[in-house]
A and B are shown apart, each in its own frame.
Chain A
Amino acid sequence: MKPAAFIRHVPRTLDEALKILAQVAPQDGRILAGGQSLVPIMAFRLAKPAHLVDINEVEGLDHVASDGQILSIGARVRHAAFHKSVLDNPLGKLLAYVARHIAHYPIRMRGTFCGSLAHADPSAEWCLVAATLDATMVAKSTRGSRPIAAKDFFEGIMSTALAEDELLAEVHLPLLPADAKFGFNEFSRRAGDFAMAAALVTYRLANGKIADARVGVGGAEPAPRRIAQAEAALNGQAPSDKIFRAAAEAAAKAIDPLEDHQTTGEYRRDLVRAVVRRALEHSHP
C-alpha cells in the first residue's frame, strides 16, 4: 500500500499552479488538495499520477465570502471550516448541519469542499448540497475561467465536467431566502461512513403552503440531483405527514438506483424513501 513514485509540485500562486497543471495534466498529473480521497486511491495504486500539483500553499484560495447573493468557497477551504455557521443566512446553518455528517473529525480537518466536488463521489454530502442548491463551479485553467452549473458538472460516478487541466478554483452557492427551511438526512451503516442514501430539502412557506421546494438525493444514483417529481409533490401543498410521504414515494420511484453485491435496487429505494421523508419531517428551523 505504498503509492507509485510521483513528483510533487508546490506552487505559491494560482497562475503558477495553472501553468504546472497544464504541463503535467497529460501525464495524469493531478491536483492534491486535502488528499483524503486521492492519497488512499494512490496507496491502493488505483491511480498512479506521475505529478501532483499541491495547492495547499497557493495564495488566495482560502476564502469563504458572501456578497449577499452568493457564498463563494475557495479551493483550500476545509470541511471543518463549516463546523460553525459561516454566515447569517439559513445556508450557514445548513452547511454546519451537513458538515457533521462528512467522515470523521480528522478527515474534516484536511479534506476540502472543492476537492469533494472535484472527486464527485456519488455519496459526498457537498456534492448533494451543490446539486440541490444549483451551485456554480468556477473552473480555471491557463485557457481562462468558466462557470459550470451543478447540473452539468456531475457527469457520473467520480466523473465531472472539469477538463484535466482545469482547477476548480471556487464554488458559488446561492444564499437561501431568509425564511427558508432545510432538512437533511442520510443513511450509513456506521457513523462517518459514506451515505448509502442522503436527502437534502429546502423550501419556504407561503401562506402556509410549500413553495420553492428543492429535493436533492445523493448516494442513490451515479450523481446527486434534484428530483422534480418529489418537488412537484410538495409545491403548493401544506406540510403534512401525507404530503411528505407522497414526496418520498415520488423520489423513491424516480431514481435509477445504484446496485451492488449487498444492496439491491429495491433496498436503495427503501433508503431513499426513508431519507427524503426524514429530511422533510425534521426540517430546520
Chain B
Amino acid sequence: MTTHTKGTGLKWVGRAIRRLEDPALITGQGRFTADLPAVHRVRFVRSSVAAGKIKKIAAPQDAMVITAADLRAVKKITPMLHKFNYKPVGQPVLGEGVVRFVGEPLAAVVAASEAAAEDIADLVDITIDETAPVIDARDALAPGAPQIHAEAPGNVILEGKFKSPEFDTVWKTAAKIIKLEARSHRQNATPMEARAGHAAYDAASGRVTLTCTTQMPHVMRTAIADMLDMREADLRVIAPDVGGGFGQKISLCAEYVVLVWLARKLKSSVAWTEDRRENLIAGFHSRDQYIALEGAFDKDAKLLALRADIATNIGAYSCFPTTCGVEPLMAMAEMPGPYDVKQYECLARGVITNTCTMAPYRGVSRPVITFTLERLMDKAASAFKIDPIDIRRRSLIGKFPYTSAMGLVYDEATYKETLEMAVKAIDVPAFRARQKAARTKGRHLGIGFATFSERTGYGSPAFAARGMEITPGWETVILTVDPSGFVEVRIGSSPHGQGLRTTLAQIIADEIGVTPDIIKVVHGDTDTSPYGWGTFASRSLVISGGATLIAAQKVRAKLIKIASHMLEAAPGDIVLADGAAKVAGTDRSISIAKMAREAYTQTHRFKGEIEPGMTETGTYDPPGTFSNACHVAIVEVDVETGHVTVEKFLVAEDAGRIINPMIADGQVHGGIAQGIGNALLEEIIYDESGGILTANLADYMPPTAHEIPDIELHHIETPSANSITKAKGLGEGGCIGAPAAVINAINDALTPFGVAIDEIPATPQRIRAALRAKEQAA
C-alpha cells in the first residue's frame, strides 16, 4: 500500500489509514432500514402486464389494500427540465388508469407481517385490458409506434442537439470516416441491500420519520413533503447504514411516498423491504442505449470531428430529481471524452418505452460512451493500420485548461501520461509475443486499452446547464469542537460505503492538529445534518471535503486566536499539532480540549473579541474537475464456447491529491468489478411482451470474486486547481473504463477471425454467434 503524504506537509491526508466506519459494519453492529421493527408491513402488488388499461383492482374482504383511488390528493412524481424540448410526464405513486411497465406498483397491501401481506397480495384480483407494449427504443421511435404518454408524441421525452459551426467544412476534409453502431443493453445497479423504507408516526409531535436506504435524504424530504402537501418540518428522513447505492438510491421511489402516507393515515409505523425480484424488475434500470458514432480522421489519423446519434431508453417514467436527462444529456456533453476534437455534432434522445424507469447508475452514460468511443478509436487504428496506442497518442488532450466543443472546461489532467504509464507497466511487446505463441496453440489472448476523462465534483453551475428544476451542486458542513475537545462534523452528503467518515476526518485532522479518531462525521439525518445533496456523481470528497476544509480552516483560525490570547503570543507564532497549540520555539502550549472548554465556559475572558462556542460552517460549490485514467485489460477468449476470461487488469489513473490511498484503490477495484460485469455478464432481458426474464441473481449475473482478476493500480497525482483540497473525484472511474478495455481486448483477441463485437455485455452466446456466422460464411 502506498502512502502519498510526501512533500505535502500533511500528516494524515495521503495515508492509508483504516476506515473508521468499518469496525461496526464488520462486527454486525451496522443499522439498516430493514432492522427496524414496525407494526405494519407493506407488500406492493405490481403489474404483470407491460401496457394496458386497468379495469379492476379488487381486494379480498377485510384486507387493507390501498390503490390510486385512495391517493387522489397525492401529487404525481413529475420531474422537470426547462431545456431540450423536455416533455414533463407524471408518475402516479400507484398505477392509475394505465399501466406502463411490468413491475409498476398498483396496490399496497398492509398486514401484520411480510408473509401475511404477501398472502393477501396473491389474492388481489387485478384485471387489465392489455395493449401492445413497446420495449425497445428503436421500436418506440418507429413511425406508428404506440404512444406511451400523450404528452410525449413519438415517445421522445427530450431531445438534445448540438453542432459546431464549422462541423460540415471540417468533416469534408477527412481522410477517413470510421463508423460504429454500438449497443449497450440494460442493467441494474444491484446494490447488496435492495430498497427499503420504514415510516413511523409520532403522536406527540405529529411528525413522521421516514428511514430509508437513500443516497439523498434531504432531497427525499423536500420531494415527499411536496407530494403530500406537508410542511418539511413535519417529516424527518433518515438514511441509516446504506448497503450500497450506485445511483439506484438517488431517485425518489413511489413506494416511499406511499409509506409516509400510510404512516400518517394509520398513525403508526409501516415498513417495506424490497425483495431481489422486485429490485430487478422495478428498482430502476440503466444503460439501455444505442449509439451510432462516426469519427472523421485526417491523413495522420488525428481525430477531427465526431458525429453521434444517441438513443437512450429511459423506461416508462422520468426519474426524480435528476430527470431522465441524465443519460442522454451526459452522453451528449461528454461523448468526445479525453480527445482534442473541436468539431462535434450530436443528436441525443430520451425514448419512452414500456419498461422499468431508468435512473443513474455509477458512471451513468460514461461506461457506454467510453466503450463506444474507444471501440471507434480501435476500429480507426485498424483502418489506418497503426497501433491502437499510437492512434490515441495523436488525439489525446495535452494542453490545459482545455475547452471542449460544447464548452466544458477541462482542468489539468494527464491523459497522455497515464496512457504511457499503463503501456509501460503492462509491457506490450512481451504481451504481443505471448499472444502470438498462444495463437499457434489455438488460444486467443487479447489486450484492450481505454483512456477516458471522468468529470467529477461539479457544483451547481454545471448542473444548471441541464436546466434542471432541482439543480444540485453545493455542500455545507457544520464543524464543532465540543467542550471536551471532541470534534463532530455534520454533513449534507450521505455516504453509503465510500469511506467519507474517514477521509473527512483526515482532512480535519491535518487542519486543526488532532487525530482522526476523535472526529465523528454525522450524516444521513435531516434533523441533525445540514441541507445537502447527498452522495452521487463522484462529488462528496471534492465538494463535502472542500466544505469541510473551509469549516476546518475557520476553526483553525479561531483556535489560533484563542491560543494567542491564552498563551499571550502572536498568532503567527502559534502552531497547531498533536492536539495542542504551541508557541513556536518555546515549550509553552495548551491543549485543544482546554481551549474548546474555555470557548464555551470562560467566554468572559475573551472580552467580546472571540465569539462563544466552537462551531463553524463551510459551504463549497466548485466548478468541477476532471479525473482521468487509462485502463488495460488482458483477456482470453475461448472461441469454442465464447467464454471470456479476464486474465489481468491494470489501471494508471490520476484523481488529483489522494486523501486515503486504500479507500481510493477500493473505489477503483469495486468499479472495475462492476465494469467487468457490465462488459461480460449483466443484462436485464425483456421478452417481446415486456416480461422480465432475468428476475433473480441466477439469471441476472453480477460477477463473483472468481470472475474478477487481480487489479494492478498506478497513480499520478495532479493537484486540481478546481478543488480546494486538490483532490478530484474517483468514485466512478473504475466502471467507466472497464467495459471499453474488456471489449477492445476481446476484439483484439478475435482479430484473426475478422469479427467485431460492439455490444455489451459480450455474452458467450453473442461471441459464438459472431464467430459462427463467419464459420458458416467461409
Q: Do A and B come from one complex?
A: yes
Give the CA-CA distance A261 to B696 in the complex, in Å. Answer: 15
If A189-B643, A190-B704, A271-B641 touch, whether A262 touches B765 (CB-CB below 8 Å) is yes
Q: Which residues of A contact B765 (CB under 8 A)?
A: 262-264, 267
8 Å CB contact of A187 from B113, B119, B277, B641:
B641
Would you call B693 an interface residue if the criterion is a C-beta within 8 Å of the partner chain's C-beta atoms?
Answer: yes
CB distance from A273 to the nearest CB of B (A): 7
Q: When each residue 1-29 of chain A gets 1 if its CB lies under 8 Å from chain B and 0 otherwise, what string results?
A: 11111000000000000000000000000
Q: Which residues of B contact A264 (CB under 8 A)?
A: 765, 769
Would you call A192 an interface residue if the criterion is a C-beta within 8 Å of the partner chain's C-beta atoms?
Answer: yes
Q: Which residues of B contact A179 (CB under 8 A)?
A: none
Within 8 A of B (CB), among A229-251: none
Would you call B707 an interface residue if the criterion is a C-beta within 8 Å of the partner chain's C-beta atoms?
Answer: yes
Q: Which residues of B contact A47 (CB under 8 A)?
A: none
Interface of A is mostly: loop
Within 8 A of A (CB), among B578-605: none
CB distance from A204 to the nearest CB of B (A): 27
Q: Which residues of A contact B122 (CB under 8 A)?
A: 4, 45
Give the CA-CA distance A85 to B685 in the complex, in Å. Answer: 41
Give the CA-CA distance A22 to B681 in the complex, in Å. Answer: 45
Within 8 A of A (CB), among B680-699: 681, 685, 687, 693, 696, 698
If A45-B122, A270-B768 touch, whether A189 touches B704 (CB-CB below 8 Å) is no
If A2-B115, A189-B701 touch, whether A274 touches B641 (CB-CB below 8 Å) is yes
8 Å CB contact of A267 from B681, B693, B704, B768:
B768
Q: Which residues of A contact B685 (CB under 8 A)?
A: 261-262
In the complex, which residue of chain B has the Cβ closest to the Cβ of A263?
Answer: B765
Which of A1, A189, A191, A267 has the largest number of chain B CB atoms within 10 A? A189
If A1-B277, A261-B693 touch, whether A194 touches B772 (CB-CB below 8 Å) is no
Whether A267 contacts B701 by the Cβ 8 Å rule is no
Q: Which residues of A contact B115 (CB under 8 A)?
A: 2-5
Give the CA-CA distance A274 to B642 in the complex, in Å. Answer: 11
Whether A190 contacts B772 by the Cβ 8 Å rule is no
Give the CA-CA distance A194 to B693 in the complex, in Å. Answer: 17
Would you call A88 an interface residue if the criterion is a C-beta within 8 Å of the partner chain's C-beta atoms?
Answer: no
Would you call A152 an interface residue if the criterion is a C-beta within 8 Å of the partner chain's C-beta atoms?
Answer: no
Give the CA-CA distance A193 to B685 in the complex, in Å. Answer: 18
A to B contact number (C-beta, < 8 Å):
65
Q: When each residue 622-660 of chain B gets 1 if its CB lies under 8 Å from chain A and 0 otherwise, what string results?
A: 000000000000000010111100000000000000000
Would you call B488 an interface residue if the criterion is a C-beta within 8 Å of the partner chain's C-beta atoms?
Answer: no
Give the CA-CA distance A148 to B98 in the complex, in Å. Answer: 54
CB distance from A33 to the nearest CB of B (A): 20
Would you call B483 an interface residue if the criterion is a C-beta within 8 Å of the partner chain's C-beta atoms?
Answer: no
8 Å CB contact of A190 from B118, B687, B703:
B703
Whether B687 contacts A270 by the Cβ 8 Å rule is no
Whether A262 contacts B687 by the Cβ 8 Å rule is no
Q: Which residues of B contact A262 (CB under 8 A)?
A: 685, 763, 765
Within 8 A of A (CB), among B724-770: 763-765, 768-769
8 Å CB contact of B640 from A261, A263, A266, A273:
A273
Would you call B556 an interface residue if the criterion is a C-beta within 8 Å of the partner chain's C-beta atoms?
Answer: no
Q: Which residues of B contact A4 (CB under 8 A)?
A: 115, 118-119, 122
Would you call B166 an interface residue if the criterion is a C-beta within 8 Å of the partner chain's C-beta atoms?
Answer: no
Q: When each residue 126-163 of chain A gets 1 if its CB lies under 8 Å from chain B and 0 otherwise, what string results?
A: 00000000000000000000000000000000000000
Give the CA-CA distance A261 to B115 in the complex, in Å. Answer: 32
Would you call B275 an interface residue if the criterion is a C-beta within 8 Å of the partner chain's C-beta atoms?
Answer: yes
Whether B640 contacts A189 by the Cβ 8 Å rule is no
Whether A267 contacts B643 by the Cβ 8 Å rule is no
Q: When each residue 26-52 of chain A gets 1 if its CB lies under 8 Å from chain B and 0 otherwise, what string results?
A: 000000000000000000110000000
Give the CA-CA distance A196 to B693 in the complex, in Å. Answer: 17
Q: Which residues of B contact A3 (CB under 8 A)?
A: 115
Whether A1 contacts B768 by the Cβ 8 Å rule is no
Would you call B706 an interface residue if the criterion is a C-beta within 8 Å of the partner chain's C-beta atoms?
Answer: yes
In the complex, which residue of chain A has the Cβ closest to the Cβ of B688?
Answer: A261
8 Å CB contact of B118 from A45, A187, A194:
A45
Whether B643 contacts A192 by the Cβ 8 Å rule is no
CB distance from B318 to the nearest CB of A (A): 29
Would you call B193 an interface residue if the criterion is a C-beta within 8 Å of the partner chain's C-beta atoms?
Answer: no
Whether A2 contacts B114 by the Cβ 8 Å rule is yes
Q: When each residue 690-722 of chain B gets 1 if its CB lies under 8 Å from chain A and 0 otherwise, what string results?
A: 000100101001011011000000000000000
Q: Which residues of B contact A270 (CB under 8 A)?
A: 640-642, 768, 772
Would you call B267 an interface residue if the criterion is a C-beta within 8 Å of the partner chain's C-beta atoms?
Answer: no
Q: Which residues of A contact B763 (CB under 8 A)?
A: 189, 262
Which of A4, A192, A274 has the largest number of chain B CB atoms within 10 A? A274
Would you call B276 an interface residue if the criterion is a C-beta within 8 Å of the partner chain's C-beta atoms?
Answer: yes
8 Å CB contact of A189 from B119, B277, B681, B693:
B681
Q: Which residues of A contact B641 (CB under 8 A)?
A: 187, 270-271, 274
In the complex, which residue of chain A has the Cβ closest to the Cβ of B687?
Answer: A261
Q: Which residues of A contact B113 (CB under 8 A)?
A: 2
CB distance from B58 to the nearest CB of A (A): 20
Whether A191 contacts B706 by the Cβ 8 Å rule is yes
Q: Which residues of B contact A266 (CB under 8 A)?
A: 772
In the complex, which residue of chain A has the Cβ closest to the Cβ of B277?
Answer: A1
Give the CA-CA distance A271 to B641 in the complex, in Å. Answer: 6
Give the CA-CA distance A262 to B768 in the complex, in Å. Answer: 12
Give the CA-CA distance A191 to B645 in the complex, in Å. Answer: 11
Give the CA-CA distance A263 to B641 in the complex, in Å. Answer: 12
Q: Which residues of A contact B638 (CB under 8 A)?
A: 274
In the complex, which residue of chain A has the Cβ closest to the Cβ of B274?
Answer: A1
CB distance from A263 to the nearest CB of B (A): 6
Q: Which residues of B contact A190 (CB under 8 A)?
A: 681, 701, 703-704, 706-707
Whether A5 contacts B119 by the Cβ 8 Å rule is yes
Q: Which residues of B contact A191 (CB under 8 A)?
A: 704, 706-707
Q: Give 12 A-B pairs besides A2-B115, A2-B118, A190-B703 with Cβ atoms closer than 8 angstroms.
A: A2-B113, A44-B696, A189-B701, A190-B681, A191-B704, A193-B698, A193-B701, A261-B685, A262-B765, A266-B772, A270-B641, A273-B640
Q: Using a CB–CB distance below 8 Å, which chain B residues touch chain A? A: 113-115, 118-119, 122, 275-277, 638, 640-643, 681, 685, 687, 693, 696, 698, 701, 703-704, 706-707, 763-765, 768-769, 772
Minimum-distance CB pairs A-B, first 5: A191-B706, A1-B275, A2-B115, A274-B640, A2-B114
Q: Using a CB–CB distance below 8 Å, which chain A residues touch chain B? A: 1-5, 44-45, 187, 189-194, 261-264, 266-267, 270-271, 273-274
In the assembled complex, 13 residue pairs joining A and B whose CB atoms fall closer than 8 Å, in A order, are A187-B643, A189-B643, A191-B706, A191-B707, A193-B698, A261-B693, A262-B763, A262-B765, A264-B765, A264-B769, A267-B764, A267-B769, A273-B640
